[in-house]
Structure 1
Amino acid sequence: MRPVRLLAPATLVAALALSGCATSPYTGPVEVTRFVAPDPAGLGQGTIALSFPDELGNAAARAAFTSAVTKELTRLGYTVVPEGVPASQTAAIRTSRSGIAAATDNRRGPVNVGVGGQTGSFGSGLGMGVGINLGGGRESPSVMTDLAVRISRDDGTTLWEGRSQIATGVKSPYSQITTSAQTLAAGLFRDFPGGNGETVTISVKKLQGN
Protein backbone atom coordinates (compact mmCIF):
# COMPACT_ATOMS: atom_id res chain seq x y z
CA MET A 1 0.00 0.00 0.00
CA ARG A 2 1.30 3.35 -0.97
CA PRO A 3 1.60 5.96 1.79
CA VAL A 4 -0.91 8.77 1.70
CA ARG A 5 0.66 12.05 0.61
CA LEU A 6 -0.08 14.78 3.13
CA LEU A 7 1.83 17.52 1.33
CA ALA A 8 0.07 19.61 -1.27
CA PRO A 9 1.68 19.96 -4.72
CA ALA A 10 4.29 22.69 -4.97
CA THR A 11 2.16 24.66 -7.39
CA LEU A 12 -0.76 24.70 -4.97
CA VAL A 13 1.49 25.76 -2.12
CA ALA A 14 2.84 28.63 -4.22
CA ALA A 15 -0.65 29.72 -5.23
CA LEU A 16 -1.82 29.74 -1.61
CA ALA A 17 1.23 31.72 -0.58
CA LEU A 18 0.60 34.30 -3.27
CA SER A 19 -3.08 34.61 -2.46
CA GLY A 20 -2.21 35.25 1.15
CA CYS A 21 0.19 38.12 0.44
CA ALA A 22 -1.28 39.64 -2.72
CA THR A 23 -2.65 43.15 -2.36
CA SER A 24 -4.59 45.42 -4.66
CA PRO A 25 -2.73 48.56 -5.76
CA TYR A 26 -4.16 51.63 -4.08
CA THR A 27 -5.38 54.38 -6.43
CA GLY A 28 -7.30 57.30 -5.02
CA PRO A 29 -9.58 59.66 -6.93
CA VAL A 30 -8.32 62.88 -8.50
CA GLU A 31 -9.20 65.92 -6.41
CA VAL A 32 -9.47 69.14 -8.41
CA THR A 33 -9.78 72.75 -7.20
CA ARG A 34 -10.14 75.66 -9.64
CA PHE A 35 -10.40 79.45 -9.56
CA VAL A 36 -11.69 81.65 -12.39
CA ALA A 37 -11.07 85.40 -12.70
CA PRO A 38 -14.12 87.72 -12.65
CA ASP A 39 -13.23 88.79 -16.21
CA PRO A 40 -11.77 85.73 -17.99
CA ALA A 41 -11.98 87.25 -21.48
CA GLY A 42 -9.80 85.31 -23.92
CA LEU A 43 -9.67 82.19 -21.77
CA GLY A 44 -9.51 79.03 -23.85
CA GLN A 45 -8.42 80.68 -27.09
CA GLY A 46 -5.42 82.22 -28.81
CA THR A 47 -1.76 81.35 -28.37
CA ILE A 48 -0.32 80.07 -25.13
CA ALA A 49 3.20 79.22 -23.99
CA LEU A 50 4.17 76.77 -21.25
CA SER A 51 6.56 77.61 -18.46
CA PHE A 52 7.96 75.89 -15.36
CA PRO A 53 8.60 78.65 -12.77
CA ASP A 54 10.24 76.19 -10.38
CA GLU A 55 13.22 74.04 -11.23
CA LEU A 56 12.15 70.54 -12.27
CA GLY A 57 15.19 68.31 -12.16
CA ASN A 58 13.44 65.18 -13.43
CA ALA A 59 13.55 65.42 -17.23
CA ALA A 60 11.06 62.57 -17.66
CA ALA A 61 8.54 64.32 -15.41
CA ARG A 62 8.97 67.62 -17.25
CA ALA A 63 8.42 65.92 -20.61
CA ALA A 64 5.38 63.97 -19.35
CA PHE A 65 3.63 67.00 -17.87
CA THR A 66 4.49 69.17 -20.85
CA SER A 67 2.90 66.62 -23.17
CA ALA A 68 -0.16 66.10 -20.95
CA VAL A 69 -0.89 69.80 -20.43
CA THR A 70 -0.25 70.59 -24.10
CA LYS A 71 -2.77 67.94 -25.13
CA GLU A 72 -5.45 69.37 -22.84
CA LEU A 73 -4.85 73.00 -23.80
CA THR A 74 -4.98 72.09 -27.49
CA ARG A 75 -8.25 70.26 -26.92
CA LEU A 76 -9.68 73.39 -25.31
CA GLY A 77 -8.88 75.49 -28.39
CA TYR A 78 -5.49 76.97 -27.58
CA THR A 79 -2.54 77.05 -29.95
CA VAL A 80 0.46 75.98 -27.86
CA VAL A 81 3.63 77.65 -29.12
CA PRO A 82 7.20 76.41 -28.64
CA GLU A 83 9.25 77.68 -25.73
CA GLY A 84 10.66 81.12 -26.41
CA VAL A 85 7.96 82.11 -28.91
CA PRO A 86 5.79 85.09 -27.83
CA ALA A 87 2.20 84.22 -26.90
CA SER A 88 -0.89 86.07 -25.70
CA GLN A 89 -1.13 83.83 -22.62
CA THR A 90 1.16 81.72 -20.46
CA ALA A 91 0.44 78.50 -18.59
CA ALA A 92 2.75 78.24 -15.57
CA ILE A 93 3.11 74.60 -14.54
CA ARG A 94 4.12 73.38 -11.10
CA THR A 95 4.19 69.74 -10.10
CA SER A 96 5.54 67.72 -7.22
CA ARG A 97 5.46 64.32 -5.59
CA SER A 98 5.83 63.67 -1.90
CA GLY A 99 5.70 60.65 0.35
CA ILE A 100 2.73 60.04 2.65
CA ALA A 101 3.90 58.82 6.05
CA ALA A 102 1.79 56.12 7.68
CA ALA A 103 0.04 57.34 10.82
CA THR A 104 0.35 55.29 14.00
CA ASP A 105 -3.39 54.69 14.06
CA ASN A 106 -3.32 53.51 10.40
CA ARG A 107 -5.31 56.51 9.25
CA ARG A 108 -3.95 58.93 6.68
CA GLY A 109 -4.17 62.57 7.62
CA PRO A 110 -5.13 65.18 5.04
CA VAL A 111 -2.45 66.41 2.68
CA ASN A 112 -2.88 70.02 1.67
CA VAL A 113 -1.14 71.42 -1.38
CA GLY A 114 -1.84 75.05 -2.20
CA VAL A 115 -2.18 76.15 -5.79
CA GLY A 116 1.28 77.03 -6.98
CA GLY A 117 2.90 75.46 -3.92
CA GLN A 118 5.08 72.40 -3.56
CA THR A 119 5.46 69.76 -0.90
CA GLY A 120 8.09 67.76 -2.71
CA SER A 121 9.98 67.62 -5.96
CA PHE A 122 10.34 65.26 -8.86
CA GLY A 123 14.05 65.95 -8.58
CA SER A 124 14.22 64.52 -5.06
CA GLY A 125 14.27 60.85 -6.00
CA LEU A 126 10.51 60.41 -5.54
CA GLY A 127 9.80 61.11 -9.18
CA MET A 128 9.32 57.55 -10.37
CA GLY A 129 7.55 56.25 -7.28
CA VAL A 130 10.14 53.49 -6.98
CA GLY A 131 11.40 52.15 -3.67
CA ILE A 132 8.83 54.03 -1.58
CA ASN A 133 6.85 51.96 0.89
CA LEU A 134 5.64 54.14 3.70
CA GLY A 135 2.28 52.49 4.16
CA GLY A 136 3.28 49.34 6.03
CA GLY A 137 2.84 45.73 4.97
CA ARG A 138 -0.20 46.22 2.80
CA GLU A 139 -0.70 48.45 -0.22
CA SER A 140 -1.91 51.86 0.94
CA PRO A 141 -1.52 55.52 -0.03
CA SER A 142 2.24 56.05 -0.26
CA VAL A 143 2.74 59.07 -2.51
CA MET A 144 0.82 62.22 -3.38
CA THR A 145 1.34 63.63 -6.88
CA ASP A 146 0.01 67.06 -7.71
CA LEU A 147 -0.24 69.37 -10.69
CA ALA A 148 -0.94 73.11 -10.54
CA VAL A 149 -1.44 75.35 -13.58
CA ARG A 150 -1.92 79.12 -13.68
CA ILE A 151 -3.04 80.75 -16.92
CA SER A 152 -2.19 84.44 -17.28
CA ARG A 153 -2.38 87.11 -19.97
CA ASP A 154 0.82 88.58 -21.36
CA ASP A 155 0.36 91.56 -19.00
CA GLY A 156 0.51 89.24 -16.00
CA THR A 157 -3.22 89.20 -15.20
CA THR A 158 -4.31 85.79 -13.94
CA LEU A 159 -7.31 84.38 -15.80
CA TRP A 160 -7.52 80.92 -14.27
CA GLU A 161 -5.67 78.61 -11.95
CA GLY A 162 -6.25 75.11 -10.74
CA ARG A 163 -4.75 72.21 -8.89
CA SER A 164 -5.27 68.46 -9.18
CA GLN A 165 -3.80 65.78 -6.95
CA ILE A 166 -3.94 62.04 -6.52
CA ALA A 167 -2.77 59.68 -3.78
CA THR A 168 -1.48 56.29 -4.93
CA GLY A 169 0.25 53.21 -3.67
CA VAL A 170 3.66 52.30 -5.01
CA LYS A 171 2.26 49.43 -7.08
CA SER A 172 -0.49 51.50 -8.66
CA PRO A 173 -0.06 52.12 -12.41
CA TYR A 174 -1.03 55.72 -11.64
CA SER A 175 2.24 56.13 -9.74
CA GLN A 176 4.06 56.02 -13.07
CA ILE A 177 5.03 59.47 -14.32
CA THR A 178 3.35 59.38 -17.74
CA THR A 179 0.10 57.91 -16.45
CA SER A 180 -0.12 60.25 -13.48
CA ALA A 181 0.63 63.29 -15.67
CA GLN A 182 -2.07 62.39 -18.18
CA THR A 183 -4.61 61.63 -15.44
CA LEU A 184 -3.95 64.79 -13.43
CA ALA A 185 -4.08 66.99 -16.54
CA ALA A 186 -7.28 65.34 -17.75
CA GLY A 187 -8.91 65.89 -14.36
CA LEU A 188 -7.67 69.45 -14.05
CA PHE A 189 -9.10 70.57 -17.40
CA ARG A 190 -12.27 68.46 -17.30
CA ASP A 191 -15.36 70.67 -17.79
CA PHE A 192 -13.03 73.69 -18.15
CA PRO A 193 -13.00 76.28 -16.72
CA GLY A 194 -15.12 74.89 -13.90
CA GLY A 195 -16.76 76.81 -11.09
CA ASN A 196 -14.80 79.46 -9.24
CA GLY A 197 -13.52 78.07 -5.96
CA GLU A 198 -15.10 74.67 -6.42
CA THR A 199 -13.46 71.40 -5.47
CA VAL A 200 -14.51 68.21 -7.24
CA THR A 201 -13.46 64.58 -6.88
CA ILE A 202 -13.19 62.48 -10.03
CA SER A 203 -12.71 58.71 -10.29
CA VAL A 204 -9.72 57.74 -12.41
CA LYS A 205 -12.02 55.43 -14.39
CA LYS A 206 -13.87 58.49 -15.71
CA LEU A 207 -10.57 59.91 -16.97
CA GLN A 208 -9.34 56.83 -18.78
CA GLY A 209 -8.93 57.34 -22.50
CA ASN A 210 -8.84 61.14 -22.22
Structure 2
Amino acid sequence: MEAQSFRILPAALAAAALSTLAACATPAVTGPVEVTRFVEPAASAQLGQGTIFVETAPGAQADSLALTPYKQAVARELARLGYREAPRADAAQVAQVRVERFVSGPDGQRRGPVSVGVGGSTGSYGSGVGLGLNINLGGGPRETIATRIGVMIRDKQSGTTYWEGRAQFSVSENSQYAEPAASAKAVAEALFRDFPGRNGETIEVKVPE
Protein backbone atom coordinates (compact mmCIF):
# COMPACT_ATOMS: atom_id res chain seq x y z
CA MET A 1 0.00 0.00 0.00
CA GLU A 2 2.83 2.40 0.79
CA ALA A 3 4.50 1.76 -2.53
CA GLN A 4 1.28 2.50 -4.35
CA SER A 5 0.76 5.78 -2.49
CA PHE A 6 4.27 6.90 -3.41
CA ARG A 7 3.55 6.19 -7.07
CA ILE A 8 0.33 8.25 -7.02
CA LEU A 9 1.72 11.28 -5.19
CA PRO A 10 4.15 12.47 -7.89
CA ALA A 11 1.39 12.20 -10.50
CA ALA A 12 -0.93 14.35 -8.37
CA LEU A 13 1.80 16.93 -7.85
CA ALA A 14 2.55 16.98 -11.55
CA ALA A 15 -1.11 17.56 -12.37
CA ALA A 16 -1.32 20.41 -9.87
CA ALA A 17 1.84 21.95 -11.30
CA LEU A 18 0.49 21.74 -14.84
CA SER A 19 -2.76 23.37 -13.71
CA THR A 20 -0.84 26.21 -12.05
CA LEU A 21 1.32 26.71 -15.13
CA ALA A 22 -1.75 26.83 -17.34
CA ALA A 23 -3.35 29.49 -15.14
CA CYS A 24 -0.15 31.54 -15.14
CA ALA A 25 0.11 31.24 -18.92
CA THR A 26 -3.24 32.99 -19.39
CA PRO A 27 -2.71 36.72 -18.85
CA ALA A 28 -5.30 38.70 -16.93
CA VAL A 29 -7.14 41.13 -19.18
CA THR A 30 -9.21 44.17 -18.22
CA GLY A 31 -11.43 46.05 -20.62
CA PRO A 32 -11.93 49.82 -20.50
CA VAL A 33 -14.78 51.28 -18.46
CA GLU A 34 -17.55 52.59 -20.69
CA VAL A 35 -19.21 55.62 -19.12
CA THR A 36 -22.31 57.60 -20.06
CA ARG A 37 -23.60 60.61 -18.12
CA PHE A 38 -26.84 62.60 -18.31
CA VAL A 39 -26.92 66.09 -16.80
CA GLU A 40 -29.84 68.38 -16.07
CA PRO A 41 -28.60 71.76 -17.37
CA ALA A 42 -30.54 73.72 -14.77
CA ALA A 43 -28.93 71.76 -11.91
CA SER A 44 -25.31 72.78 -12.41
CA ALA A 45 -25.36 75.00 -9.31
CA GLN A 46 -26.54 72.11 -7.13
CA LEU A 47 -24.00 69.52 -8.28
CA GLY A 48 -20.78 68.86 -6.43
CA GLN A 49 -21.71 70.62 -3.20
CA GLY A 50 -23.93 70.40 -0.15
CA THR A 51 -25.01 67.35 1.80
CA ILE A 52 -25.77 63.98 0.27
CA PHE A 53 -26.81 60.50 1.37
CA VAL A 54 -25.73 57.41 -0.56
CA GLU A 55 -28.39 54.74 -0.70
CA THR A 56 -29.44 51.63 -2.59
CA ALA A 57 -31.61 52.42 -5.59
CA PRO A 58 -35.32 51.55 -5.38
CA GLY A 59 -35.93 47.94 -6.36
CA ALA A 60 -32.57 46.68 -5.14
CA GLN A 61 -31.89 44.47 -2.14
CA ALA A 62 -31.71 47.16 0.51
CA ASP A 63 -29.59 45.13 2.92
CA SER A 64 -27.33 43.47 0.37
CA LEU A 65 -23.77 43.37 1.70
CA ALA A 66 -22.56 42.84 -1.84
CA LEU A 67 -23.51 46.43 -2.67
CA THR A 68 -21.45 47.85 0.19
CA PRO A 69 -18.10 48.27 -1.64
CA TYR A 70 -19.84 50.03 -4.53
CA LYS A 71 -21.73 52.42 -2.28
CA GLN A 72 -18.54 53.14 -0.36
CA ALA A 73 -16.64 53.82 -3.59
CA VAL A 74 -19.38 56.18 -4.76
CA ALA A 75 -19.33 58.00 -1.39
CA ARG A 76 -15.56 58.49 -1.65
CA GLU A 77 -15.88 60.00 -5.10
CA LEU A 78 -18.70 62.30 -4.03
CA ALA A 79 -16.62 63.51 -1.08
CA ARG A 80 -13.72 64.17 -3.44
CA LEU A 81 -16.01 66.29 -5.60
CA GLY A 82 -17.06 68.47 -2.65
CA TYR A 83 -20.14 66.79 -1.25
CA ARG A 84 -20.51 66.19 2.48
CA GLU A 85 -22.04 62.84 3.40
CA ALA A 86 -24.90 63.13 5.88
CA PRO A 87 -27.71 60.98 7.31
CA ARG A 88 -30.69 60.77 4.99
CA ALA A 89 -32.84 62.94 7.24
CA ASP A 90 -30.31 65.77 7.05
CA ALA A 91 -29.18 65.42 3.43
CA ALA A 92 -30.31 67.79 0.68
CA GLN A 93 -29.56 65.26 -2.05
CA VAL A 94 -29.49 61.49 -2.39
CA ALA A 95 -27.27 59.32 -4.57
CA GLN A 96 -29.05 56.11 -5.53
CA VAL A 97 -26.76 53.24 -6.49
CA ARG A 98 -27.63 50.14 -8.50
CA VAL A 99 -25.18 47.40 -9.46
CA GLU A 100 -25.28 44.29 -11.60
CA ARG A 101 -22.51 41.73 -12.06
CA PHE A 102 -22.71 38.65 -14.22
CA VAL A 103 -20.59 36.07 -16.01
CA SER A 104 -20.50 36.39 -19.79
CA GLY A 105 -19.44 33.51 -22.02
CA PRO A 106 -17.01 33.64 -24.98
CA ASP A 107 -20.02 34.14 -27.26
CA GLY A 108 -21.08 37.24 -25.32
CA GLN A 109 -24.11 35.52 -23.84
CA ARG A 110 -24.89 35.91 -20.16
CA ARG A 111 -24.06 32.72 -18.27
CA GLY A 112 -25.30 33.62 -14.81
CA PRO A 113 -25.25 36.30 -12.15
CA VAL A 114 -22.46 37.15 -9.78
CA SER A 115 -23.99 37.69 -6.34
CA VAL A 116 -24.70 41.43 -6.19
CA GLY A 117 -27.92 43.26 -5.45
CA VAL A 118 -29.53 44.51 -8.65
CA GLY A 119 -31.05 47.97 -8.77
CA GLY A 120 -34.31 49.08 -10.25
CA SER A 121 -35.22 51.20 -13.23
CA THR A 122 -33.21 53.98 -14.79
CA GLY A 123 -34.09 57.60 -14.30
CA SER A 124 -35.66 60.18 -16.57
CA TYR A 125 -32.44 60.88 -18.42
CA GLY A 126 -31.56 58.46 -21.19
CA SER A 127 -34.20 55.92 -20.26
CA GLY A 128 -33.95 52.89 -22.48
CA VAL A 129 -30.40 53.67 -23.57
CA GLY A 130 -28.35 50.51 -23.20
CA LEU A 131 -24.59 50.23 -22.99
CA GLY A 132 -23.00 47.45 -25.03
CA LEU A 133 -20.66 44.86 -23.59
CA ASN A 134 -19.09 43.83 -26.89
CA ILE A 135 -15.54 44.42 -25.71
CA ASN A 136 -12.79 42.29 -27.20
CA LEU A 137 -10.56 41.30 -24.31
CA GLY A 138 -8.19 39.33 -26.52
CA GLY A 139 -6.41 36.11 -25.61
CA GLY A 140 -8.95 33.80 -27.24
CA PRO A 141 -12.34 32.60 -26.02
CA ARG A 142 -12.91 32.89 -22.29
CA GLU A 143 -15.56 33.72 -19.77
CA THR A 144 -15.54 37.25 -18.40
CA ILE A 145 -17.09 39.04 -15.45
CA ALA A 146 -19.13 42.08 -16.40
CA THR A 147 -19.91 44.86 -13.92
CA ARG A 148 -22.53 47.54 -14.44
CA ILE A 149 -23.17 50.42 -12.05
CA GLY A 150 -25.68 53.23 -12.21
CA VAL A 151 -25.90 56.27 -9.96
CA MET A 152 -28.63 58.88 -9.86
CA ILE A 153 -28.20 62.10 -7.90
CA ARG A 154 -31.55 63.55 -6.91
CA ASP A 155 -32.98 66.36 -4.88
CA LYS A 156 -34.29 64.57 -1.80
CA GLN A 157 -37.36 66.72 -1.27
CA SER A 158 -38.70 66.98 -4.82
CA GLY A 159 -37.19 63.82 -6.30
CA THR A 160 -35.86 65.79 -9.27
CA THR A 161 -32.98 64.03 -11.00
CA TYR A 162 -29.96 66.31 -11.27
CA TRP A 163 -27.51 63.80 -12.73
CA GLU A 164 -27.36 60.18 -13.85
CA GLY A 165 -24.28 58.16 -14.67
CA ARG A 166 -23.71 54.63 -15.87
CA ALA A 167 -20.48 52.71 -16.11
CA GLN A 168 -19.58 49.17 -17.05
CA PHE A 169 -16.64 47.03 -17.92
CA SER A 170 -15.64 43.40 -18.44
CA VAL A 171 -12.61 41.59 -17.08
CA SER A 172 -11.17 38.12 -17.31
CA GLU A 173 -11.81 35.92 -14.30
CA ASN A 174 -8.16 36.08 -13.24
CA SER A 175 -8.05 39.89 -13.30
CA GLN A 176 -7.55 41.74 -10.03
CA TYR A 177 -10.71 43.67 -10.95
CA ALA A 178 -12.81 40.52 -10.71
CA GLU A 179 -12.79 41.18 -6.95
CA PRO A 180 -15.66 43.43 -5.79
CA ALA A 181 -13.54 46.03 -3.95
CA ALA A 182 -11.21 46.59 -6.91
CA SER A 183 -14.14 46.53 -9.34
CA ALA A 184 -16.03 49.11 -7.28
CA LYS A 185 -13.06 51.46 -7.10
CA ALA A 186 -12.44 51.24 -10.85
CA VAL A 187 -16.00 51.88 -12.00
CA ALA A 188 -16.64 54.66 -9.45
CA GLU A 189 -13.47 56.54 -10.37
CA ALA A 190 -14.31 56.25 -14.06
CA LEU A 191 -17.94 57.24 -13.53
CA PHE A 192 -17.08 60.47 -11.72
CA ARG A 193 -14.06 61.44 -13.81
CA ASP A 194 -14.42 65.03 -15.09
CA PHE A 195 -17.75 65.30 -13.25
CA PRO A 196 -20.44 66.06 -14.24
CA GLY A 197 -19.42 65.28 -17.82
CA ARG A 198 -21.23 66.19 -21.02
CA ASN A 199 -24.89 65.37 -21.27
CA GLY A 200 -25.45 62.13 -23.22
CA GLU A 201 -21.79 61.62 -24.05
CA THR A 202 -20.23 58.16 -23.79
CA ILE A 203 -16.52 57.88 -23.05
CA GLU A 204 -14.08 55.04 -22.41
CA VAL A 205 -11.72 55.16 -19.43
CA LYS A 206 -8.70 52.89 -19.39
CA VAL A 207 -8.15 50.94 -16.17
CA PRO A 208 -4.56 50.48 -14.98
CA GLU A 209 -3.42 46.86 -14.94
Give the TM-score normalised by the residue count of structure 2: 0.71
Check 1:159–1:173 CA distance in 2 against 1; reply closer, same or farther (3 A cut): same
Identity %: 41
Partner amino acid for 2:116? F
Unaligned runs of 5+ in 2: 1-13, 119-136
Is this contact kept in 2: 1:57–1:122, CA < 8 A? no
The CA deviation string for residues 81-127 of structure 1, in whole angstroms up to 9 with x for no partner, is: 13x43311110100010121222xxxx47x9xxxxxxx875159xxx
For residues 67 and 18 of structure 1, the distance between their equivalents in structure 2, rounded to whole angstroms, comes to: 36
| Higher strand residue share | 2
For residues 168 and 97 of structure 2, the distance between their equivalents in structure 1, rounded to whole angstroms, comes to: 14
How many Å apart are 1:19 and its aligned residue? 6.7
Is this contact kept in 2: 1:145–1:165, CA < 8 A? yes
CA RMSD of aligned residues (A): 3.1
Check 1:194–1:64 CA distance in 2 against 1; reply closer, same or farther (3 A cut): same
The CA deviation string for residues 37-85 of structure 1, in whole angstroms up to 9 with x for no partner, is: 0211311110011111233378442221121011000000001113x43
Aligned position for 1:74? 79
Check 1:58–1:184 CA distance in 2 against 1; reply closer, same or farther (3 A cut): farther
Give the TM-score normalised by the residue count of structure 1: 0.70
For residues 114 and 29 of structure 2, the distance between their equivalents in structure 1, rounded to whole angstroms, comes to: 20
1:65 paired with 2:70, answer: yes
Is this contact kept in 1: 2:55–2:71, CA < 8 A? no
Matching residue within 31, 47, 69 for 1:28: 31
How many Å apart are 1:202 and its aligned residue? 0.8
Aligned position for 2:203? 200
For residues 172 and 63 of structure 2, the distance between their equivalents in structure 1, rounded to whole angstroms, comes to: 20
Name the SS of the counterpart of 1:183 in structure 2.
Answer: helix
Matching residue within 116, 129, 149 for 2:151: 149
Q: How many residue pairs get matched?
A: 170
Unaligned runs of 5+ in 1: 1-10, 112-118, 125-134
Check 1:123–1:198 CA distance in 2 against 1; reply closer, same or farther (3 A cut): closer
| Higher helix residue share | 2
Aligned position for 1:173? 176
